[in-house]
Amino acid sequence: MFRVSVALGLNRPLVVRTTLVGDPGDLLARLPAAAPYAWIRHGEGMVAWGEAARVAVPPGPRRFEWARDWLSETFGEAHVDDDVGVPGSGPVAFGSFTFDPDAQGSVLVVPRVVLARRDGRAWLTTLGEERLDLVTPLRDPGRIRYGDGSLTAPEWEHAVARAVGQIRSGRLEKAVLARDLTATAEREIDVRLLLSRLARRYPGCYTFSCAGLVGATPELLVRHTGETIESLVLAGTASRGTDEADDMARGAALFASEKDRYEHTCAVESVREALAPLCSELKVPEEPELLVLSNVQHLASPVTGRLSAGASVLDVVAAMHPTAAVGGTPTETALGVIRELEGMDRAGYAGPVGWIDARGDGEWGIALRCAQIEGRRARLFAGCGIMGDSAPAAELAEAQAKLRVMQYALEG
pLDDT band for 312, please (50, 70, 90 cuts). confident
Q: What is the mean pLDDT of residues 273-295?
A: 90
Q: What is the mean pLDDT of residues 100-104?
A: 94
| pLDDT at position 7 over 50 | no
| pLDDT at position 253 over 80 | yes
pLDDT at 4: 37
Packing angle, helices 153-168 and 331-341, rounded to 10: 150
Instruction: Specify burial of residue 267 (Cβ count, 10 A radius: 0-12, 13-18, 19+).
Output: buried
Q: What is the mean pLDDT of residues 262-291?
A: 90
| pLDDT at position 2 over 70 | no
pLDDT at 327: 92
- Please give the Cα distance from 410 to 224 (Å, whole number): 32
**pTM to 2 decimal places:** 0.90
| pLDDT at position 235 over 70 | yes
pLDDT tens digits, one per residue of 31-71: 998 889 999 999 999 999 999 999 999 999 999 999 999 99
pLDDT at 13: 82
pLDDT tens digits, one per residue of 158-207: 999 999 999 999 999 999 999 999 999 999 999 999 999 999 999 999 99
pLDDT at 228: 93
Q: What is the mean pLDDT of residues 249-261?
A: 91
The share of the chain scoring above pLDDT 70, in percent, equals: 96
| pLDDT at position 356 over 80 | yes
pLDDT band for 308, please (50, 70, 90 cuts). confident
| pLDDT at position 309 over 80 | no
pLDDT at 6: 41
pLDDT at 133: 67
Asked if 235 and 303 touch (Cβ cutoff 8 Å), the reply is: no
Instruction: Specify burial of residue 37 (Cβ count, 10 A radius: 0-12, 13-18, 19+).
Output: buried
Q: Angle CA(255)–CA(256)–CA(259) in degrees, nearest 5? A: 95
pLDDT at 30: 94
Class of CATH domain 15-137+145-411: alpha beta
Most confident of 105-109, 247-251, 276-280: 105-109
pLDDT at 14: 87
Domain segments of the chain as ranges: 15-137+145-411
| pLDDT at position 8 over 50 | no
pLDDT at 21: 95
> Catalytic residue numbers?
174, 219
| pLDDT at position 1 over 70 | no
Pick from 86, 369, 364, 68: nearest CA to 230: 364
| pLDDT at position 9 over 60 | no
Pick from 120, 123, 108: nearest CA to 210: 108
pLDDT at 234: 87
Q: What is the mean pLDDT of residues 311-320?
A: 91
Q: What is the mean pLDDT of residues 391-395?
A: 96
Q: Angle CA(79)–CA(80)–CA(85) in degrees, nearest 5? A: 165
| pLDDT at position 3 over 50 | no
Asked if 164 and 388 touch (Cβ cutoff 8 Å), the reply is: yes
The share of the chain scoring above pLDDT 90, in percent, equals: 79
